[in-house]
Structure 1
């Protein structure tokens, strides 16, 4: 939509409605050249856009205009399966979505015996980017493992180990604590392979005792208690949408489609 269009909604009103800032401050942002529409800087206060089709960002951070989309972060407890309806009657994710009227789905999976960060949303396009390994979204885990992990083992994790389904290397690995009986290891990787952290640690001789996912892309669990869910903040939503717009231009091959959320082989 061009600056001369008379239809649509004034850009400063759109920004104010989206919670970016007051209309007056939004006008200042526009005049300062900090707002883009569809990748083009817009400085004219009379500019109108279509909130349903145009993409807006401020200082390079995407702005959510479609308010029908819901984004929720959950600190999943152990013993809960990553499914909205488990056909075996095990505890599932439905108990954490009663607060929201939309039908939400989980982005990716965590094993029943792994706790931590899960994203729940009704935004299928965003879920596609976040869940599919071809887009390289990183996840950070804290693993309690058996035995004393050595610096050499940490180096091995980042150089790579050979598993039955091929080689894998952590993007980052860090030893947080160690005793004779147990160690605490932080691992960051973008693989979506089944039980990848547990298999990597077992391969280097340190089976996982407890595993928590603390980060997913730009999101962090922070102080969110186990078993609690909350909506993302405006800043968090912006970070996720920015990520999806940056990485969403490359579609995976047809035979490399994202796993269905009810596919148990997709568990991480």
Structure 2
């Protein structure tokens, strides 16, 4: 497999929406702290460039704010070329607390018995892989099969979903097994159909390891966008005020010199 330090990623997100006057939007589309050769974010409101403010959310993700959008069409284009390997974020004692807790889409308290049956006596990376294998083997990936209200509970019962559903169930089972787990949105070269993608990071021996029970794209070339407890913290667009109707979206993510091969079970950080 290629050394992730040599991989260069090129990503682009295009979105179009119709908004009401005075609409405020928060975006999580920019790559998070990876070195880039070139990067741009342009917002056009009725063809006129609109101001963008950058800040950080509580998890350190790069958050872009659009305030007071006029009524009409809004076009958003984000591009980053030559994206290199980011440093692996350090863990601290608080991670072992925060990322064991239940969250909006992860009903950890309801999965203790189920997680115990899946993991058995295993610990650490072996337990993580047991959870990933179980989710992969017991869910069917069905585009359009879930809604934004679906959680780990409904996914477990339906036995189908998309990447966010796989991630929520994986994170929930890991937390119920005593393994801190968080969700991260990524650009994923090799993903088909191409879209924003949600994966899980598990804390094993003070190191965050990325896992993806969908097995739809190689983890070695993924690019972190945002991190949080679940999809509520990583949504690419959030309406803060007003009204937004998304009318178009296109995501592109490619890698040079070539797409790495995915090896399920390999221990990798998200870089």
Shorter-chain TM-score: which interval? under 0.3
Structure (1 or 2) with the greater strand fraction: 2
Larger-gyration structure (1/2): 1
Structure scoring higher RCO (CA < 8 A, sep ≥ 6) equals: 2
Give the alignment's TM-score, normalised by structure 1: 0.25
